[in-house]
Amino acid sequence: MKNKTLFFLTGILGISCFDACKQPVPEPELEQFMSVAMAGARNPAVKSLKGAADTVFYVQIVYGGTTDYRQGNITARVNVDLSLTDAFNAGNGTAYRPMPDGAFSLESETFSIADGSNVSPPVKLTVKAGLLDPDAEYVLPLTIVSLEGKLPLNEDLKTLYIVFRGAGVDITFGKASWEVKDVSSEWAPSVPATHAFDDDINTYWHTNLTGLPAHLAVDMKKPWRIQGFLFVNRQDHEGNTANPKRIAFEVSDDGLNWTVAREFGEFPQVYEEQRIPLDAVAVVQFFRVRIESAWSGQSWTYIAEVGVY
């Protein structure tokens, strides 16, 4: 059986071949691996609304499976389809409300990927938070309804579900007020440390390229009684394997003196949410994640989400 390996390039990628590799590997057929999807559609995106003011978000379409982005111009039409709300709730065991008419607007229904790129320019999505119940959660399905170009549509990832949490909803230990106490490094403004606790597993904090060992300390703004930590690895993991390997979770009362709560020499490289229980309940205001090494052996790493429970 011939092995075929594809890498979806969202970061820095190294490709190597052992000396035993003598025969060229045939290129996979275009239609088998390359398809157009809503960016971030693999998991629901969760967005917290801070108040009643209009809030702007950005959405895109994308394709992967190749390093050759000369696939011609691609144009998609994207619509909001509120009829998908019931099926989404049934499939996920949730009870999100559909977004009411007038509470959202999409800058354009047309999303275009230019030849030479694999992602469209961001399209503005405006949410009128003042028209929403601040104590409720809503879901907005954005789906690709038509596509023009040489690439096929990814039917499994054609719909992006965005969950909007009202300003009065607090299920994350006051997470909306959390701040970065200290961070060792950030690779770029698009991958800041705040992405590690923004309630969106499709975003992530990325250290700089010589950023190990690394650390991220979070101020929860007041003491909380916690039983453990929550952790999610970066989700677009095809070709991105610099997940934390040797890692420690620490707690502090003052943000200066730290106690190791849990430590792992080989932290599980999985992509579901992990719960890391403490040996005993702790009351703390600060926590810190220290990363000494990455599974890939690279000198950088990333975190999609870290929190407490």
Lowest mean per-residue pLDDT among 109-118, 174-183, 200-209: 174-183
Task: Decide if pLDDT at 227 tops 80.
Answer: yes
| Ranges 33-47, 183-197, 290-304: which has the least confidence | 33-47
CB 8 within 8 A of CB 33: no
Q: Which contacts (CB < 8 Å, 24+ apart) does range 261-268 have?
A: 261/229, 261/287, 262/228, 262/229, 267/243
**Strand pairing category for 45-48 and 159-165:** parallel
Distance CA 170, CA 165 (A): 9
31: pLDDT strictly greater than 60: no
CA dist., res. 145 & res. 20, Å (int): 46
pLDDT-derived band at 29 (thresholds 50, 70, 90) equals: low
Q: Identify the band that residue 169 occupies on the pLDDT scale cut at 50, 70 and 90.
A: low
Contact by Cβ (8 Å): 259, 279? no
Of 146-150, 217-221, 273-277, 302-306, minimum mean pLDDT range: 273-277
Answer whether residue 119 shows pLDDT above 80. yes
| Residue limits of CATH 2.60.40.1740 in the chain | 30-165
pTM (2 d.p.): 0.52
- 30-165 CATH: 2.60.40.1740
- Give the pLDDT confidence score for residue 176 in this predicted structure: 81
pLDDT of residue 135: 83
Reported confidence tier of residue 64, pLDDT bands at 50, 70, 90: confident
Rounded to an integer, the average pLDDT of 48-73 is 90
pLDDT reported for residue 25? 46
Q: Read off the pLDDT of each residue in 198-203 and give the average, rounded to a whole number.
A: 92
pLDDT band at 172 (very low <50, low <70, confident <90, very high): low
Pick among 3.30.420.40, 2.40.37.10, 2.60.120.260, 1.10.3720.10: CATH of 175-308: 2.60.120.260
Q: What percent of the chain has pLDDT over 70?
A: 88
Where, residue-wise, is CATH 2.60.120.260 in the chain? 175-308
- pLDDT of 158 higher than 70: yes
Stretch 195-199: mean pLDDT? 94
N- to C-terminal Cα separation, the chain: 46
And the tokens for 135? 């104590």
Residues in the chain: 309
Task: Report, as an integer, the average pLDDT of 121-130.
Answer: 95
User: Of 107-116, 214-223, 272-281, which gets the smallest average pLDDT?
Assistant: 272-281
